[in-house]
Amino acid sequence: MAKIAVQNAGASLGGYDPGSRLPTFLAARAAFLAGRSTPRMLLEESLERIARLDPVIQAFCFLDVPGARAAADAATQRYAQNRPLSPLDGCPMGIKDTIHVRGMPSKMNSAVYDDTPVRFDAASSYALRQAGAVLLGKTHVPEFAMGKSPPTRNPFDARRTAGGSSSGCGAAVGAAMVPIALGNQTGGSLIRPSSFNANYGFKPTHGALNVGGMHPIAPSQDHIGPMAASLADAWLTAWEISTRIGGHNGHPGLSGAPAVPRALKPLRLARLDTLGMAQLDEATREAMAQMCHRIEALGVGLLDRDCNDAIAALEDLLLEADDVSDRIFVYELRWPLVAYVDANGPEAISATAKARLERGLAMTPADYRQALAKRDRIRAQVALVGQQVDGFITLASSGPAPFDGVDQAGTVDRPNAHLSTGSRSFLSPWSMVGGPAFSLPLMAVDGMPVGLQVMGTADTDYRLTAVARWLDENCG
C-alpha cells in the first residue's frame, strides 16, 4: 500500500486514502531501463513538484539544483550506456539536515551553524552518492533534531505538524517531492513522521547503518534509516548504504540480499499496547482494533498480555519506556550542546534545547547507570518474547498528526516544544531495544494517515522486512 498524492497547494493539501499509491523509484527505474524515461526527467518532475508545493509544505531547507541536475545527467548517460551504478542510480533523494552532504550546509535549524557548505559526506551520504543517487537537498529538522520546531507542514493537512524530528523527510516523501529521503531516529524521529506522512519508514537495527557524519544526539540510541514511497525502495536504500559503507560501532551491517525479500506470512505476532494506548482517541483505537481483526482473520495468531505472561511482563516494563529513554537521551546529548554554549554563550541554543540540556547536566553517573540497567532489562524481555513470535506490532504514532499551532512564518520554541511534533510513547521502546522497526501506511483516521508499526529483535531486519511485506500486501 502507499499514499495518495497531494492534490493542490492550498491550506489543506488533500486527504489520505490508504488504497492509493505513490510512484516509487523502482517503477521509475523500470522506465529508465525501458527507455521511457530518464533520471533527468524524473528530477525535473521532482523540481516542478517542489516549486509548486514546498512554499506551503516547507520540507526542504536547502536545494542544490545545479548539482542535482549534473548528477541526474550523469546517471542518464549511464543508463543510455546500460551501465547504471546500482538499482538506486538516478534516484532523487532528500537528506535530513542532521546528516552531512558534501557541498551543502548543515545548519540543523540552529544559529550555531551558518550557510558554509560542509566539505565531506557523512558515511551514508557517501554510500548513496557512490550508488548514483541524486542528492537533491537537505530537509528541515527541529533544532539539532530535538529543539525548537521547524516550519514544515503536513502534506495532507497543512494545519498539522509533519512530525519530528525527520519532519522535512516525511513531508517530502508524503508529498511525492522525492521517492526516498534519509532520516534518523533516537526516540521516535523516523517512525512517527513516517506515520504522520504515510511513508514506509524503516529504522534498521541499531548500528546496522553507519551513522558517521551525523550530528550526535544520544549515540547509544542514534539510528539512521530511509523513509520511502514503498517498502522495496526503503529496503534497497538501507541495503546500498550498508553494503557500501558497512555498519557502525563494531556492527558488520545488514544481512540478507539486495532485493526486497518475498512476503512471509507470520505465524504469531505479539501485540503491544504500551503507555501510548492511554493517549489514543476513539477513532484511532478503533482503527487499530480493526487492523488486528483483519490480521487475525488472515490466520495470524495475535498474542497479547491477556494470554501470555512474558508479554504482560514486557508491557509492565515498557510503562517506564518514555522516562528511561528520555533520561538516556538527555544524559548523552550533553555533548556537544555544552560545547555550543561554552563557545557561543547560553543564547546559542533555544529554550527547548536548553531545558533538555539542564536536565542532562543534573543527572549523575549513577542516574545514567540506573537508566541503562532498566534498558537492559527491557531488551532481555524483548529477546525472551521474540523467541515465541515472528515480530511485534503496535501503532506507529498515537493517532494522526496533531494540530500544532505553528504557522508558516515561524517556529515553536518553548521548553516542551518537541512535544508539538507528537507523542513518543509508541516509539521510544524500539529506539531503546535497538531492533528493526517499520511504519506501514495502512490506516486512515479522520482523513489522515496512521501507520502500523512492525518491530523485530536485533539483526532480524531481512526477515522482518519479509513479514512487513506480507502485512503490507494483505492488510491494506
Rounded Cα distance between 48 and 59, Å, is: 14
| Cα dihedral 201/207/209/212 (nearest 10) | 120
In sequence order, which residues have a C-beta less than 8 Å from that of residue 58 and are 6 or more positions away?
140, 150, 151, 152, 153, 168, 171, 408
Minimal CA–CA distance to 408: which of 11, 14, 3?
11
C-alpha distance from residue 80 to each of 39, 75, 407 (Å): 11, 9, 45
Q: Which of 165, 167, 397, 431 is catalytic?
A: 165
Question: Is residue 429 within 8 Å of 318, Cβ to Cβ?
Answer: yes
Q: Is 165 annotated as catalytic?
A: yes
Q: Which grid cell sits at 16?
A: 489520505
Give the position of cell 517530502: 172
Looking at residue 162, its amino acid is A
Question: Is residue 404 within 8 Å of 164, Cβ to Cβ?
Answer: no
Q: Is 96 annotated as catalytic?
A: yes
Taking each helix axis from N to C terminus, what angle separates 461-474 and 231-245, rounded to the nearest 10 degrees? Answer: 170
Q: Is 20 annotated as catalytic?
A: no
Q: Which of 3, 37, 46, 96 is catalytic?
A: 96
Question: Is residue 144 within 8 Å of 99, Cβ to Cβ?
Answer: no
Q: Which of 189, 194, 397, 398 is catalytic?
A: 189
| Catalytic machinery residues | 96, 165, 189
